[in-house]
Chains A and B, each alone.
Chain A
Amino acid sequence: MKTYIYLVLTLALMCASTSSMQGQTAKKEHKTTMSTGTLSIIDLDDVLVEGYNGSEVVVSSMVAESEENERAKGLKLMNAMGLDDNTGFGIAVYQEGTELFVRQISKSCSCSDVTIQVPKGMKINVSHSNYNAENLRIKNVSSELEITTNHHDVRLEDVTGPMAVKTVYGSIDAIFTSLSQTGSVSLYSVYELVDVTIPSQSKMNVTLSAPYGSVYSNINVDVSDHGNGSWNSGTTIKGSFNGGGVEFSVKSAYEDVYLRQAN
């Protein structure tokens, strides 16, 4: 019995200690009234972008007290571009014409779990070039989307296109709820895999390319270009699905490509 009590007390003590080490976390957010135009997200290392039926762009983050710089209280973080941290967690939000910019302005951003809620009518443009990238999640977005990043793993959930997504070192996972017939869809990773799920009724002219990898799929592509049939010439498959439709291109230069139809 004594051993049991000691065990419970020790666990309780450990939990209390961990909690006090982390300090309390508080949600901070910055709102901008805007429902059309373009949202440009620049150099955010780890972010979830979520479409919603609203009229404000809401940038929020969970900030731990321990991460706040006591010495900098009452001061604003600045960067070489002259931008201020007007969110309180190392991100500048500013508007130029019909474009709203959300830019991480310091490497030592005190932000975590950054979420950006975007009204559904806005185009989204994400760019990132440094080495600190982690995850980039885009959810519930049906407006035009453009992503250019070197290191992010990109995860797209409940999207429809049109879109152009390019990452050098990261993978791309995309789940389409439906496939827009506007514009085109282009998903390209240089060094990592690309895994795409589409609804079974999607109409598209598809190009699947894996020059140094393989293409796996459970959809019946009506192949139009049979190439030379040689395994060592790399894999590029061109054809149509469900009679053809939007231009849909999936490519991984050095890894595999997966294209699935949802059940």
Chain B
Amino acid sequence: MNIEKIEDRMVLALEGALSNSEFETLMKVINENHEYTLIWKSYQEMYQDMEDVLPETPSSEVATKFHEWLDNYQEEKVINIAQKGVKKGPIMLWRKWAGVAAIFIGVLGFWSMYQSNRQVEGTLADMSKQMERLMEQQSTSERIKAIRVNFNPEKGDLSNTMIDVLIQVLNTDQSSNVRLAAVETLAQFMDKEVVREALIKHLALEEDGGVKLTIITILGQQKNEKIKTTLENIVNDDSQEKFVIDEAHMQLIRFDQIDI
């Protein structure tokens, strides 16, 4: 069973659509695989968050006042219509009442959407804070693991906040092995302008030859005039390591072979 099927089964399980035996089989598969366990936990948390959203029911006081106002409104209208000599009937009043109800429902809908968006934003902020905490760990291999597990493009696109966290790691982490993992992960989001800009800027600051080399190789695969200028600057900079200059030169040759 591939990961997409497993995820579909997880959603069905959380919605209570699986039989006991199907649920047990799924649990067995999840427990045998660390990655599946993490995905299962994140789905569980997401469903829990959805359940925790307060029901959008007005208080009894608001409801009572609304009904009182509605009754008064109806009586006034009946009187007004009768005064003008228009045929007295419940249809117009029903339409007005329905209109007010529709506005009320609309307001509630917008409020609900607003709350939901706030909840999603809150969850994303929590995730990025959690990621920041993970990146404060002393262990290099734990920080690399945090990058590889939490920034997996197979699990969907990343929020800008999470991308910012990764760029922060690239610019500040003391371990070149961690920075390398950040570069390799950012390389999977090169369609984002902010990522391309961050890699170009970081190239001037990076001290480790291996990390520089990887950035140059990744940038060289982009068709972008700004990157070409950056590579030309590296080729003309004698302070760079020879292998860094060679790689920049090689990528420039590639540039000249393709139309920008």
Please state if B36 and A164 are interface contacts (CB–CB under 8 Å): no
Tell me, yes or no, whether B34 is within 8 Å of chain A by CB: yes
Task: Give Cα A244 to B176, complex, Å.
Answer: 26
Please tell me the size bucket of the interface on B.
20 to 34
Residues of chain A within 8 A of B230, CB atoms compared: none
Tell me, yes or no, whether B32 is within 8 Å of chain A by CB: yes
A161, A164, A205, A243 — most chain B CB neighbours (10 Å): A164
- Which of A2-10, A43-51, A181-189 lies at the binding interface? A181-189
Tell me, yes or no, whether B3 is within 8 Å of chain A by CB: yes
Please state if A247 and B144 are interface contacts (CB–CB under 8 Å): yes
Please state if B208 and A205 are interface contacts (CB–CB under 8 Å): no
Please state if B35 and A225 are interface contacts (CB–CB under 8 Å): no
Please state if A148 and B141 are interface contacts (CB–CB under 8 Å): no
A-B contact count (CB 8 A): 93
Task: Give Cα A214 to B142, complex, Å.
Answer: 28
* A186-B144 contact, Cβ under 8 Å, with A164-B175, A205-B34: yes
Task: Give Cα A225 to B2, complex, Å.
Answer: 10
Tell me, yes or no, whether A61 is within 8 Å of chain B by CB: no
Please state if B145 and A150 are interface contacts (CB–CB under 8 Å): no
Residues of chain B within 8 A of A244, CB atoms compared: 32-36
Tell me, yes or no, whether A166 is within 8 Å of chain B by CB: yes
**Least CB distance, B252 to chain A, in whole angstroms:** 17
Task: Give Cα A162 to B146, complex, Å.
Answer: 13
**Least CB distance, B207 to chain A, in whole angstroms:** 9
Please state if A205 and B213 are interface contacts (CB–CB under 8 Å): no
Residues of chain A within 8 A of B148, CB atoms compared: 184, 207, 247, 249
Please state if A144 and B34 are interface contacts (CB–CB under 8 Å): no
Cross-chain pairs A/B with CB under 8 angstroms, 13 sampled: A144-B140, A146-B140, A150-B241, A162-B139, A162-B142, A164-B178, A166-B180, A168-B213, A182-B141, A184-B145, A188-B210, A203-B34, A224-B2
Contacts A166-B176, A183-B145 supplied; 6 other A-B pairs, CB < 8 Å: A165-B177, A166-B177, A243-B32, A243-B33, A244-B32, A247-B144
